[in-house]
Structure 1
């Protein structure tokens, strides 16, 4: 996770940076800002996961910054020497409110909280991606001359070519600039199956299976090896299709 520290006191920024390096090993401070204007300008042009935000600064407050920034998914951690702002801080959906000087135990607990939130967000994103996979009709492929879109129902098979992937459609084939595993995660799991580390096939275009040689023949005439450890699952899928 990447973070920015926004505080008008350099001593406070240095102390927090050192403490984070020591007690929050999963957090990387990538920037510092010395006030509201400086911090707002940086956030409008860069992306981080966490903002450590002082409340009282020479050119305004941390609340001023958030109001000017508008709606955000940033994880806000207020850092201040004053405890009277706690209620207002949590109205801004702050992740935490740390009183200076900051206790190392608070930082350890904060990191645990941030990691837990990340896991929950990643889980939600994966669930949403899985829910959308089966409704996918087109796929965008980055080719040497730019991004092009193709119909998924015309895709016969994909073949790994080092860090590239060869896509074989019914009437054409193209080379896309990403590894096969990236496309395996995108294509509908109920239509496509990875029969081998080098081959991902569209099940509806399977013409036949040779048990003796453990190879599958596709409608485009290609004959592909089915890895031993994937054979049983492949046959089960074919019996259901």
Structure 2
């Protein structure tokens, strides 16, 4: 499969470097246009309609996220490119989208392109979810993209009761007694969900504080949830759990 691509970055040397890497290591990608600003990029996207967009996040004036927020339809996949791993990346992670940190590593570029090829023709709504996150001011309305073997589900964070890890898999337990399994480690979700009231009470457990009924300190200590689940609290997490529950 071949993909057409547009590159948007406010520095010409970054565009030249990425174009060179794609030509050398991703022969299935054909660059059909480049732009040095969000304004130029918006016009280019309307004219070219690529399969894939490599988009710098932090640009003067309008950012890459501002550009996406201004669009009405999304007929392309996006791979974000940024020199700042905290700038906008939280929302990108929440939407299960790919991103590359500058300077770009060849293996990471190749992996991101491979994922885009696998997704082509199977729109999963990641971009729509990202824009939804950017437009919503209230965290209670945010949805997290959970990619399983069969689908990508967009689940409201308020419906996630807890997470439990098994090796590099994370099991999401949702309100309504549904369980979803993803192939991402629990520590990645801990970073994403830290500001949403989730507590890492154990190496293998992450709990949504809104579902905690009580902290039972007998038998080593555990959190009793509204659905009757008992989630262990490890010794080295007790102070963090206490601080979180008494905020």
Q: Which has the larger radius of gyration?
A: 1
TM-score by length of 2: 0.48
